[in-house]
Amino acid sequence: MQEVTYTPLTPIPATIKKIITETPDTKTFYFEIEKKLPEKPKPGQFTEICIPGVGEAPVSICECGDGKTIGQTIRSVGVLTEYLFKLKEGDKVGIRGPYGKGWPMERLEGKDVLIVAGGIGLAPLRGVIMEIKKNREKYGKLTLLYGSRTPDLLLYRYEFESYQAIPNTEFLVTVDRGDEKWKGNVGVVTTLIPKARIDPEKTIALVCGPEIMMRFTVKALQEAGFKDNQIYLSLERRMKCGVGLCGHCQVGPYFVCRHGPVFPYWLIKRYFWVDQI
């Protein structure tokens, strides 16, 4: 049989090992990759999930593992994701990547870390929480602010206690609309910023969520005293190649797939009109 020559664009076969239902339209898939990915994934990077005859979609890595098994949290919204949701443990897909620049983990060392996540935006940030938990001494205070529209849309609820238990961590959750069981905060995620004990002087903020949420969050962080070079955002754009060849994901002079998806705010603020909200 002919040997496959793997390039960074070759999908590697991967088996679905475990599926966790997170919310009515979102599941976390754990993929065991047949051949280790070309590099160990970093928090904030993404892969292209490929299903022959169906299509491809970029998806963030929520659990980096060792490059052999990775976790990805996926909302069913269209062609590829709807097909994926019909697959079962043991079925195969193709995975290419990891692609893009992740969160600035080295810059976070010795600093307090503020994570602001909206909805499925917690998925690309979960790897940062895991890394801080694993190497707790390398980082200062962790503040985790998480919001979703309703309580049933919160991801990883089964892990919330373990987030609370990370030493020197403040974890606040809010929902836009509560239900009869919800006893927590109600309001958009930016309402948590004044409630948290944050020292902007020594903190780096990592933000991911719907674009409108990120715009309001940047504004609230600026009002709280954060400078533009202390804020990082993960952007989402429609992609094709994932590696900076096709131009589909262009934002100004940057390709989200190759120069991002994580950008320091100062670099992309010309293309991200916070002033207009």
Binding mask 197-236 for ligand FAD (x = CB under 6 A): ---------------------------------------x
Amino acid (one-letter) located at 226? F
Question: Among 113, 30, 16, 100, which residue's Cα sits nearest to residue 70?
Answer: 30
244 binds ligand FES (CB under 6 A): yes
Interacting residue with ligand FAD among 105, 142, 214, 239 (CB under 6 A): 239
58/55 Cα distance (integer angstroms): 11
Binding mask 101-140 for ligand FAD (x = CB under 6 A): -------------------x--x-----------------
3-state helix, strand, coil in the chain (%, to 5): 30, 30, 40
Q: Which helix (H) or strand (E) holds 148?
A: strand 142-148
Distance between CA 214 and CA 221 in Å, rounded? 10
Is residue 192 a contact residue for ligand FAD (CB under 6 A)?
no
Dihedral over Cα of 257, 261, 267, 271: its sign: positive
Q: Which stretch binds ligand FAD (CB under 6 A): 3-11, 71-79, 140-148, 266-274?
A: 71-79
Candidates 113, 114, 239, 262; binder of ligand FES (CB under 6 A) is: 239
Binding mask 248-277 for ligand FAD (x = CB under 6 A): -------------x----------------
Q: What is the DSSP letter of 243?
A: S
**Number of neighbouring beta carbons within 10 Å of residue 48:** 24
254 sits in which H/E element = strand 254-255
Tokens of 16: 């679905």
* Beta-bridge partners for 206: 115, 232
Residue 242 binds which one of ligand FES, ligand FAD, none, with CB within 5 to 8 A depending on kind? ligand FES
Residue 15 CB coordination number (10 Å): 15
33 binding partner (options ligand FAD, ligand FES, none; Cβ < 5 to 8 Å by kind) = none
Report the residue count for the chain. Answer: 277
User: Distance from CA of residue 214 to its chain's centroid?
Assistant: 13
The two structure tokens encoding residue 252: 């100004």
Instruction: Examine residue 74 and tell whether it contacts ligand FAD (CB under 6 A).
Output: yes
Number of residues this chain uses to bind ligand FAD (CB under 6 A): 21
Least Å from the CB of residue 269 to ligand FAD: 19
Q: Which of 42, 75, 96, 215 binds ligand FAD (CB under 6 A)?
A: 75
For ligand FAD, the binding residue among 23, 47, 60, 148 (CB under 6 A) is: 60
Q: Can you tell me the distance from the alpha carbon of 24 to that of 151, in angstroms, rounded to the nearest whole number? A: 11
Shortest Cβ 206–ligand FAD spacing (Å):
15
- Which of 7-15, 151-159, 168-176, 248-256 is the region at the interface with ligand FES (rule: CB under 6 A)? 248-256
Using rule CB under 6 A, residue 59 touches ligand FES: no
Q: Using CB under 6 A as the criterion, which residues of the chain lie in contact with ligand FES when the complex forms? A: 239-242, 244-249, 255, 257
